[in-house]
């Protein structure tokens, strides 16, 4: 019995302290990774993430592989901590060979982690945005609008991929130029298309706040005389005998209002 | 079980048409491929049916829903008087779970379709005002029965055919019926004299309005008071709809074009 004990203590004393410390660091890292994974999963669940991303393509694919987006994210954070722990342990243990390689990996690892997370979040958000837009457009039965949700999805995924690639240090200048051109086109198109609507809404806010005329007043606006039937954010309804004029509010504002009193 | 099946086949024996209320597309296709005459009654024409009646409100009350569907079908000449129709609808939540056989005649015609579908104001606005009136009729104002008069739609003309009794509490406000808080406000203001004026889109334009329509020749049932008379008369002078809660008998009545089109007892609703 005592022979075994002395052999053990001799073995323990031959192993350098550094190795023990490294093993300890590794152990702490593993425990920490597990805890962070569990806490992450709970936090994401508590934040209602599974309900929000329900039905997105990514979540469905994850389900097919018998996992879920939340679990993948939680596992990713665990793996990251394990990897860091391994590197720290190796450094503490002073493993000399391949030092160059490990320092490179240590610098690269957090960026890879962030890139992976950004990519997953981007894909999920893109899917969700596609679903939301498709739902909003479902009332309008216009087949041409079917491309819009897909476009929204790809735009979000494209930006996420761009960020991820930037994180891992790939040259993305050409892609950014492409994105800028695309964003410029979208902004220009939106501005041209909604110019009158925005102007009307701005005038409508004034009309609703100050109420220069109200429902029931007789007015002449933009050449049309009649009784005001309705004022909303974008248009004013003015009715004369059997005719209802729907005037955009920016026209009301530009041409002025004549209140008719008898 | 044989007698149950017999009864069911008796129920649907030689009906002239089937009214499907909000059917699923597979359910509808089974009927359509069969070649029988079907009329789809739903909020949207999701199944691309040829004969379709739009349901502006979901109508929790099955009787009202069926009445509405039949009146809509009569309006579009899809069924005519004396026809026998089978209505396939859902009584509880979920799919179609009931078949009702109805004979189409004028007594089914309560004007409920006309009231919702052919009014100037939006159907949801009329429904919201109805709900406020019915709730007011059930509970009263602090337990006491109250009367109220809502004039819905064509607000510009109504305002020109009325005058204020006092300051308008809804001046410069942008509140719409159907908002729960606004409904409470309306109930509180129901103790004020005069009419509420509601616009086509549901905006509450004014309270405290004294209506001044030309009342001559307005024919409403005897026994109704000044509130009903002025409500009926304003709908003849304008394109509005009047919804009146009677203080004495507690019934909610709707007037259009100077005539009584609908009468509901809030207690039964």
- Residue range B2-114 forms a domain whose CATH class is alpha beta
Residue A2: is its pLDDT beyond 90?
Answer: no
Residues A243-260 pLDDT 10s: 888 999 988 888 888 888
Q: Give the per-residue pLDDT at A1.
A: 59
Q: Give the per-residue pLDDT at A167.
A: 82
Chain B positions touching A215 (Cβ under 8 A) are: 155-156, 159, 199, 203, 205
User: Is the minimum CB–CB distance between A216 and chain B shorter than 8 Å?
Assistant: yes
Domain residue extents for chain A: 1-95, 205-259
Residues A87-110, mean pLDDT to the nearest whole number: 73
Q: Give the per-residue pLDDT at B232.
A: 92
User: Is the minimum CB–CB distance between A230 and chain B shorter than 8 Å?
Assistant: yes
The total of other beta-carbon atoms located within 10 Å of residue B71's CB is 23
User: Is the minimum CB–CB distance between B160 and chain A shorter than 8 Å?
Assistant: yes
Q: Which fold has domain B119-268?
A: YojJ-like (1 (3.40.1700)
Beta strands B259-264 and A257-259, pairing class: unpaired
> What is the model's pTM?
0.67
Residue in this structure with the two tokens 């702490």, named with its chain if needed: A28
Nearest to B147 by CA among B180, B195, B215: B195
B60 vs B134: CA distance, rounded Å: 15
Is the distance from CB of B130 to CB of B245 less than 8 angstroms? no
Percent of chain A with pLDDT over 70: 94
Q: Give the per-residue pLDDT at A141.
A: 65
Nearest to A15 by CA among A93, A88, A95, A86: A93
Residues A14-27, mean pLDDT to the nearest whole number: 82
Q: Give the per-residue pLDDT at A63.
A: 81
Relative orientation angle of helices A69-92 and A17-46, to the nearest 10 degrees: 160
Q: Give the per-residue pLDDT at A75.
A: 85
Domain residue extents for chain B: 2-114, 119-268
Beta strands B162-164 and B252-256, pairing class: unpaired
Taking CB atoms and an 8 Å limit, are B156 and A227 in contact across chains?
Answer: yes
Distances (CA, A) of B134 to B3, B148, B246: 42, 10, 11
Residue A59: is its pLDDT beyond 70?
Answer: yes
Question: Phi first, then psi: what are they for A163, rounded to 5°?
Answer: -60, -45
Low-confidence ranges of chain B (pLDDT < 50): none
Q: Give the per-residue pLDDT at B233.
A: 93
Residue A96: is its pLDDT beyond 70?
Answer: no
Compute the nearest-CA separation of B114 from chain A (Å): 21
Relative orientation angle of helices A99-137 and A69-92, to the nearest 10 degrees: 170
Helix (H), strand (E) at residue B107: none
Helix (H), strand (E) at residue B134: helix B123-139
Nearest to B56 by CA among B64, A108, B48: B64
A18 or B6: whose pLDDT is higher? B6
Residue to mutate among A228, A229, A232, with most B CBs inside 10 A, is A229
Residues A174-200, mean pLDDT to the nearest whole number: 90
CATH of A205-259, picked from 2.30.30.60, 3.40.710.10, 3.40.30.10, 3.40.50.300, is 2.30.30.60
Long-range contacts of B3-11 (CB under 8 A, 24+ apart): B8/B99, B11/B86, B11/B99, B11/B101
Q: Give the per-residue pLDDT at B189.
A: 85
Chain B positions touching A214 (Cβ under 8 A) are: 205
B174 vs A25: CA distance, rounded Å: 65
Residues A129-155, mean pLDDT to the nearest whole number: 80
Average pLDDT of every residue of chain A: 84
Looking at residue B266, the DSSP 8-state letter turns out to be: G
Q: Give the per-residue pLDDT at A187.
A: 92
Q: Give the per-residue pLDDT at A97.
A: 59
Compute the nearest-CA separation of A243 from chain B (Å): 13
Taking CB atoms and an 8 Å limit, are A216 and B155 in contact across chains?
Answer: yes
Question: Phi first, then psi: what are they for A82, rounded to 5°?
Answer: -60, -45
């Amino acid at each position: 019995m005592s022979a075994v004990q002395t052999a053990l203590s001799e073995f323990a004393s031959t192993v350098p302290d550094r190795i023990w410390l490294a093993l300890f660091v590794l152990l702490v890292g593993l425990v920490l990774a597990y805890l962070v994974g569990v806490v992450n999963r709970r936090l994401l669940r508590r934040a209602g993430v599974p309900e929000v991303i329900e039905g997105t393509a990514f979540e469905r694919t994850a389900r097919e592989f018998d996992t879920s987006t939340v679990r993948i994210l939680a596992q990713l954070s665990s793996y990251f901590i394990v990897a860091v722990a391994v590197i720290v342990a190796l450094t503490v243990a002073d493993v000399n060979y391949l030092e160059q390689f490990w320092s490179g990996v240590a610098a690269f690892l957090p960026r890879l982690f962030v890139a992976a997370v950004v990519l997953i979040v981007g894909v999920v958000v893109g899917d969700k945005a596609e679903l939301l837009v498709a739902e909003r457009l479902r009332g309008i039965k216009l087949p041409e609008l079917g491309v819009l949700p897909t476009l929204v999805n790809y735009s979000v995924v494209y930006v996420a991929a761009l960020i991820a690639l930037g994180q891992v240090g790939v040259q993305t200048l050409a892609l950014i130029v492409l994105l800028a051109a695309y964003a410029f086109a979208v902004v220009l198109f939106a501005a041209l298309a909604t110019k009158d609507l925005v102007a009307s809404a701005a005038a409508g806010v004034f009309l609703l706040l100050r109420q220069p005329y109200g429902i029931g007043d007789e007015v002449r606006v933009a050449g049309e005389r009649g009784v005001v039937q309705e004022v909303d954010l974008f248009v004013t309804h003015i009715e004369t005998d059997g005719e209802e004029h729907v005037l955009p509010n920016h026209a009301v504002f530009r041409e002025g209002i004549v209140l008719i009193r008898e | 079980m044989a007698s149950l099946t017999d009864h069911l086949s008796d129920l649907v024996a030689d009906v002239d048409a089937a009214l499907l209320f909000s059917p699923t597309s597979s359910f509808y296709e089974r009927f359509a491929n069969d070649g029988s005459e079907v009329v789809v009654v739903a909020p949207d024409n999701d199944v691309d049916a040829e004969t379709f009646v739009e349901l502006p409100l979901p109508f929790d009350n099955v009787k009202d829903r069926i009445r509405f569907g039949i009146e809509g079908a009569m309006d579009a000449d899809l069924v005519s008087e004396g026809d026998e129709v089978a209505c396939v609808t859902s009584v509880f939540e979920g799919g179609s779970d009931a078949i009702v056989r109805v004979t189409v005649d004028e007594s089914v015609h309560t004007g409920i379709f006309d009231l919702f579908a052919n009014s100037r104001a939006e159907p949801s606005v009329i429904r919201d005002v109805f709900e406020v009136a019915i709730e007011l009729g059930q509970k009263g104002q602090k337990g006491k029965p109250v009367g109220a008069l809502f004039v819905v739609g064509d607000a510009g003309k109504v305002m020109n055919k009325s005058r204020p009794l006092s300051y308008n509490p809804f001046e410069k406000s942008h509140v719409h019926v159907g908002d729960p808080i606004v409904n409470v406000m309306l109930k509180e203001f129901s103790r004020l004299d005069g009419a509420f004026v509601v616009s086509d889109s549901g905006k509450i334009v004014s309270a405290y309005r004294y209506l001044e329509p030309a009342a001559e020749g307005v024919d409403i049932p005897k026994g109704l008071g000044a509130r009903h008379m002025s409500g009926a008369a304003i709908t003849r002078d304008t394109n509005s709809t009047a919804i009146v809660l009677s203080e004495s008998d507690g019934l909610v009545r709707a007037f259009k074009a100077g005539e009584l089109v609908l009468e509901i007892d809030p207690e039964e609703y």
